[in-house]
Structure 1
Amino acid sequence: MLLRIDHVGIACENLEEKIAFYRAAFGVTVVSQEVNEEQGVKEAMLHVADGEGGGSYIQLLEPTGPDTPVGKFLAKRGEGLHHVAYGVTDVTKAMAAMGGAGVRLVDEHPRHGAMGTSIAFLHPKDVGGVLTELVESPAPRPEQTKLKNG
């Protein structure tokens, strides 16, 4: 079911400072920055590498306020690893499979994620204490397929 580790989400106090650090330290490229009002975060996706199943990223998350999920996470735990996200072919089917295996779903339906993805979260208590995200990437655009295929 899992295609790859899509991204690792890292909670931070200041998005711009963390972007600058990751660029300088690791030479990564910012491929997307957006505000996700529904989730209460400013986020940046930093490209790490491409592989057989697609790209892998670091996702930096700055809360838009203290009462958001990431804001509460920072208040309780400080900056650091927030979640691990796995790429899947079909997030709805992956949710059904995980629910059928007894894993509690945080989301009842897929929701909008960064870069046009469909996402859903699994309850950390059922996944070894790790908040886990399932990510379905949008279908490749014709120009992306052409570039990959030559």
Structure 2
Amino acid sequence: MVEKIEHIGIAVESIEELIPYYRDGLGLEYGGEEVVEGQKVRVAFFGIGESSIELLEPTSDDSPIAKFLAKRGPGIHHIAIRVDDIEQALKQHEAKGAQLIDKEPRLGAHNMRIAFVHPKSTGGVLVELCQTSL
């Protein structure tokens, strides 16, 4: 079952350059930074209501975010939807013919279990399904 929009992910060249805008300019609550080694990315979260904005900065030239930035430049990368059972959500997506990037959940920021659905199945938007760790 879908619970809420967890966050909107934005690919950026430099988190440090954008913290003042999101924290001071927009007045969003800065939730700190962390590195997700498996995805070769540094992330920073800013709370907005019950959701957040996630800035994604590559930590390696061969990371998915670096490739996204090289191809498209900075901008919205994905929308994350929190679900209560990610395995069930993946089964439902697959049963309905959605193209999955991840057939099994993996570990993301904040120790969330995540999996991505290909934009070809979602009207051009990269969708991240996520579930809080058990």
Q: Normalising to structure 1: TM-score of the pair?
A: 0.85
The size of the alignment, in residue pairs, is 134
Structure 1 residue 72 corresponds to structure 2 residue 34: no
Query: Which of structures 1 and 2 has the bigger CA Rg?
Result: 1
User: In structure 2, which of residues 80, 98, 102 is the aligned counterpart of residue 103 of structure 1?
Assistant: 98
Structure 1 residue 16 corresponds to structure 2 residue 29: no
Residues 1-150 of structure 1: pairs in structure 2 closer than 5 A: 1-50=1-50, 56-138=51-133
For residue 16 of structure 1, report the CA deviation from its aligned partner: 1.1
Three-state SS of the structure 2 residue aligned to 1:17 is helix
Task: Please tell me the residue identity of whatever aligns with 2:52.
Answer: Y
Gaps of 5+ in 1: 51-55, 140-150
Provide the C-alpha distance between the structure 1 equivalents of 2:85 and 2:30, rounded to a whole number of angstroms: 26
Larger mean Cα displacement after TM superposition, 82-91 or 30-39: 30-39
Task: Please tell me the residue identity of whatever aligns with 2:128.
Answer: E
- Equivalent pair of 1:85/1:134 in contact (CA under 8 Å): yes
Percent identical pairs in the alignment equals 46
CA-based RMSD of the aligned residues comes to 1.2
Q: Normalising to structure 2: TM-score of the pair?
A: 0.95
Gaps of 5+ in 2: none
Task: Please tell me the residue identity of whatever aligns with 2:102.
Answer: D
The list of structure 1 runs, each at least 4 consecutive aligned residues, that deviate by more than 3 angstroms after superposition, is none
Provide the C-alpha distance between the structure 2 equivalents of 1:13 and 1:26, rounded to a whole number of angstroms: 19
For residue 111 of structure 1, report the CA deviation from its aligned partner: 0.7
For residue 138 of structure 1, report the CA deviation from its aligned partner: 3.3
Provide the C-alpha distance between the structure 1 equivalents of 2:85 and 2:33, rounded to a whole number of angstroms: 24
